[in-house]
Amino acid sequence: MVVGVTLLIWAGVHNARERRLAMQQAMAPRVVLTPADAGKPDEPMTPKLQGKTAPEFTLVGLDGKKVSLKDYKGHPVFVNFWATWCEPCKVEMPWLEEFSEKYKEQGLVVLGISTDDPDVPKSAIERAVKKLGVTYPILLSNDKLNEAYDIEVQPESFYVDRKGTVVIATEGIYDGQGGKDLIEANIRKLLAESAQ
C-alpha cells in the first residue's frame, strides 16, 4: 500500500513537471521578433503595471546572494524576464550587457530574471549566461513573482524609475538594429525621467 501511494505521488509530480514543460514549449513560439514598424515605439505592450509601483522582490542570484529590488531604490532599474529556451532573449541580452556598461555612470542597474522551470539546473542557466557574455546580475524567479509581474512571454522588460515606478513595460523585442535602438531609447527615457 505504501508503495502504491508513493507511486501515485511520484506520478502526480512527474505529470505536473511534464505539463509545465509542455506549456513553456507551447509559449516559446509566441515570442517572436517583430518588425520595427509593427507598433508604436512609445506605446507600452504591458500597460497593466505602467505608472504603478513595481512589485517588490527578493531573489537569489546565480552567485547565491539575495538581491532585492529595494536595494536599488534611488537608481533607474531595467528588469528583464528571460529564459534559456527563449531565442529572442538571446538576441536581446548582449544589448542589455552593452547598455549596462554604457549607462552605469548614470546609475542604471540591469537585473535579469530567469523564468526557467525549477527543474532546469542552475549550471544550464550559468552556461547560457556565460555564452551570451552577460555580467549583470541574473536572479532566479518564482511563480509568485511571475504572477505579480503578469509574465506571459519572454522577454518582458520593465523600466523602473528611481522612485520604484514602472515607466515603461514591453513584451518581446523588435528585430534587428531597430530593436536595439528602441531599447536604448527607452533606457534614455527612463534615465531622463529618473533625473527629474
Q: Which fold has domain 33-195?
A: Glutaredoxin (3.40.30)
DSSP-based helix, strand, coil % in the chain, nearest 5: 45, 20, 35
In the numeric block, which cell numbers belong to residue 102? 554604457
Q: Compute the distance between CA of residue 36 and CA of residue 47 in angstroms, rounded to an integer.
A: 20
- The pLDDT of residue 1 is 63
With bands split at pLDDT 50, 70 and 90, how would you rate the model's confidence at 184? very high
Q: Compute the distance between CA of residue 121 and CA of residue 64 in angstroms, rounded to an integer.
A: 14
Identify the residue with better confidence: 17 or 95.
Answer: 95
Average pLDDT on 87-102 reads 95
Contact 84, 114 (CB under 8 A): yes
Lowest mean pLDDT among 1-10, 23-32, 45-54, 98-107: 23-32
Q: Compute the distance between CA of residue 183 and CA of residue 159 in angstroms, rounded to an integer.
A: 10
Average pLDDT on 137-154 reads 93
- The pLDDT of residue 18 is 52
- The pLDDT of residue 159 is 96
Q: Which residues contact 6 (CB under 8 A, 6 or more apart)?
A: none
With bands split at pLDDT 50, 70 and 90, how would you rate the model's confidence at 2? low
| Cell 515606478 belongs to residue | 165
- The pLDDT of residue 193 is 83
Q: Chain-centre distance of CA 37, in angstroms?
A: 23
3-state secondary structure 97-117: HHHHHHCHHHCCEEEEEECCC
The DSSP secondary structure of 26-73, one letter per residue, reads: HHGGG--EE-TTSS-TTS-S-TTTTTSBPPP-EEEBTTS-EEEGGGGT
Q: Compute the distance between CA of residue 14 and CA of residue 116 in angstroms, rounded to an integer.
A: 17
Of the chain, the end-to-end C-alpha distance in Å amounts to: 67
CB hemisphere CA count around 28 (13 angstroms): 14
Identify the residue with better confidence: 77 or 2.
Answer: 77
* The pLDDT of residue 31 is above 60: no
- The pLDDT of residue 152 is 86
Average pLDDT on 15-24 reads 48
Which DSSP category does 137 fall into?
-
Lowest mean pLDDT among 15-24, 68-77, 86-95, 134-143: 15-24
Average pLDDT on 41-57 reads 73
With bands split at pLDDT 50, 70 and 90, how would you rate the model's confidence at 175? low
* The pLDDT of residue 98 is above 70: yes
pTM: 0.76
Tell me the pLDDT tens digit for each residue of 68-81.
999 999 999 999 99
Which DSSP category does 75 fall into?
S
Contact 150, 166 (CB under 8 A): no
